Amino acid sequence: MSAKPFYVTTPIYYPSGNPHIGHCYSTVLCDYLARYNRFKGRPVIFATGTDEHGAKLAAAAEKAGVDTLEYIDGFVGNFKKLWTYMNISYDRFVRTTDDYHIKTVQYIFTVLHDKGYIYKGEYQGKYCVPCESFWTDAQLTKKDDKYYCPDCGREVTENRSEEAYFLKMSPFAADIEKMLLESGYLRPENRAKELVNNFIKTGLDDLCVSRTSVKWGIPVPKFEDTSAEHTVYVWLDALTNYISLLGYGNDTFGDFDTFWNNAEVLHVTGKEIMRFHTIIWYAILKGAGVRFPDKLYSHGWIISSDGDKMSKSKGNVLDPFILGGRYGVDAVRYQMLRDMPYASDMPYSNENMLNRINADLANSYGNLVSRTASMIEKYFGGVIPNYIASAETEYGRDLRAKAVALKATVDGLLDYPKVGDALSAVFDVISRANKYIDETAPWVLAKDETKLPELGNVLRNLAEAIRIATLFLAPAIPDTAPKVYDIFGLTGNALSYEYADVFDTIPGNTKVKTTAPLFPRLDVAKEIAYLQET
């Protein structure tokens, strides 16, 4: 049986400013998962893109005194530049101003209208402009007679009243509750109760899905009852990207059946937009008769050490180009993947970041690689020794058992997906291997001719453990992993998923190379001072 296709998506980002470390996190996470699943031999589509419509973007362009699309183009270019820089292996990049996407949005709007789920009415209510969200009074946070957006916390002052189309939500309410509480779609699952209590139990209002007051958007198709020019509500427009770039409702792509209907579909977003990716997305897809996807991972935020979300509007963002330029893209990718907890936020500090890079990449992993390669060079003329079963020790057996168990552990964790925990499991093996060097003391064995078979086993076991650990680290450090493969002469089966839980895969007579350290040790105090200055 061939492997089930895997489709993974990032949110499509607003190109109203330059990308920052938060955008980077979601995208690097998806990149890890895309690379890992390709390694497993699955057909993969990894999609990202930009969300280009709505009043907010048009207003920003106007303020800057430039044409809206021209304004957006510059930032879209910067997102693409960053993804190239960060080694992001995306397959498709959707812009919601692309013709095929516009076609799909108009198509799905028509399907929902023709099935009776979209009807014409009058919208009156409060509107959060930065979030492009309509809210009922009950949903807004009220303090001192003022209303605040429950998503972004800003004050909501706009009242809007206009002819509008609505998407019926009540036919889906019971199914949405069931989906949230029972299907395993929303991860981490403890976020589901909160959604049910805040949005379903309070009554699910029909959703306003068109605007007459917003001009920068996809035109709503003309129906018999249309009497004004409408544009499609930005979230209906934006969510639809996930299927437009597979070819649903357009002829540009032909992958909808393979990568939606018959695939494992995983959306990755920050936790603040899970409401759209659960409740609203469900009504759109089910109303149109389209299968609902398998999983949504709504991860926590990178927050500053004082607890604030890092974001453009708060002006506390880190520049990934500066961090990558100084410490290497792989180190930056690894640190964020490793330190973001599965179900909570990640407080960011330069000190923690630098300590993580030093402890894991420089000391633990980098050191293991260079010590092992140089001992093979020194004691065996650079050739990885063959394994001799009769000379195996208890320590060797323990290391082997831990290393071969890694594949199942990582697979299980990535199913959630708990990438940080998976990387932590990889480092358990790396630590075990470092401890093995202390336990076996190869430099002592080398002094005794009769211990040569034992010494050979130690070095082969270390090379095998490094091979296995590197296979699971590779999707996080895609630039460094091939260097390690090169150091240990690894090719073919040794690099396959199939042999990632099989010891003694490295062929006899394999030669190693010694090289400069993979991750130089950082002077933390000096680097903190440097980062404070930039």
> What residues line the site for ligand ME8 (CB under 6 A)?
11-14, 22-23, 25-26, 51, 238-239, 269-270, 272-273, 301-302, 309-311
Q: Residue 186 forms beta bridges with which residues?
A: 296
Find the shortest distance in angstroms from Cβ 35 to ligand ME8: 19
Contacts 24+ apart (CB under 8 A), 279-282: 279/169, 279/176, 279/195, 279/199, 279/200, 279/204, 280/207, 280/235, 280/236, 280/239, 281/239, 282/172, 282/175, 282/176, 282/179
Would you say 273 or 296 has its CB closer to ligand ME8? 273
- How far are the Cα atoms of 7, 20, 34, 192, 302 from residue 46, in angstroms, in the given order? 6, 20, 6, 26, 23
CB atoms within 10 A of CB 200: 19
Q: How far is the CB of 428 from ligand ME8 (least distance, A)?
A: 26
User: For tokens 């699971």, what's the residue?
Assistant: 472
Rounded to the nearest 10 degrees, the angle between the axes of helix 524-533 and helix 320-327 is 150
Q: Tell me the CB-side half-sphere exposure of residue 357, using CA atoms within 13 A.
A: 26
Distance of CA 517 to the CA centre of its chain: 29
Omega within 30 of 0 (cis) for the link into 417: yes
CB 478 within 8 A of CB 35: yes
Which residues sit opposite 95 in a β-bridge?
Answer: 50
**What's the CA gap between 178 and 1, in Å, rounded?**
32
Measured CA to CA, the distance from residue 100 to residue 221 in angstroms comes to 15
Least Å from the CB of residue 16 to ligand ME8: 8
Burial 102-135 (b: 16+ CB within 10 A, else e): bbbbbbbbbbbbeeebbebeebebbbbbebbbbb
Return the number of the residue (279 or 522) whose C-beta is nearest ligand ME8: 279
**CB of 338 or CB of 402, closer to ligand ME8:** 338
* CB nearer to ligand ME8: pick between 301 and 472: 301
The least distance separating ligand ME8 from the CB of residue 298, rounded to whole angstroms, comes to: 8
Q: Which of 68, 311 has the CB closer to ligand ME8?
A: 311
Compute the least distance from the CB of residue 424 to ligand ME8, in Å. 19
E strand intervals along 341-418: 346-348
178/196 Cα distance (integer angstroms): 10
CB atoms within 10 A of CB 349: 11
The minimum distance between CB 396 and ligand ME8, in angstroms, equals 42
Tokens at 116, concatenated: 């009776």
Instruction: Give the type of residue at 390.
Output: S
Nearest to 258, CA basis, from 1, 6, 2: 6
Minimum Å distance from CB 46 to ligand ME8?
Answer: 15
- Determine the residue with CB nearest ligand ME8: 22
CB-nearer residue toward ligand ME8: 218 or 522 = 218
Residue 164 has φ and ψ, to the nearest 5°, of -155, 155
Alpha carbons within 13 angstroms on the beta-carbon side of residue 375 total 25
Nearest-angstrom CA–CA distance, 167 and 123: 12
Closer residue to ligand ME8 (CB): 239 or 437: 239
Per DSSP bridges, beta strands 295-299 and 186-187 are parallel
Whether the Cβ atoms of residue 383 and residue 510 lie closer than 8 Å to each other: yes
Q: How far apart are the first and last CA of the chain?
A: 53
Q: Which of 238, 423 has the CB closer to ligand ME8?
A: 238
By beta-carbon proximity to ligand ME8, the closer residue of 272 and 398 is 272
CB-nearer residue toward ligand ME8: 295 or 402: 295
What are the structure tokens assigned to 335, written together?
């640190």
Least distance (Å) between residue 419 CB and ligand ME8: 13
Q: Which of 108, 110, 79 is nearest to 11 (CA)?
A: 79
**Least gap, CB of 131 to ligand ME8 (angstroms):** 8
Q: Which is nearer to ligand ME8, 166 or 276 (CB)?
A: 276
Smallest separation (angstroms) from ligand ME8 to the CB of 51? 3
The amino acid at 315: G
- Phi, psi (5° rounding) for residue 40? -75, -5
Separation CA 477–CA 408 (nearest Å): 20
We find the least distance from the C-beta atom of residue 463 to ligand ME8, in angstroms, to be 37
Q: Which is nearer to ligand ME8, 29 or 495 (CB)?
A: 29
Q: Residue 317 or 512: which CB sits closer to ligand ME8? A: 317
Residue 7 vs 14, nearer CB to ligand ME8: 14
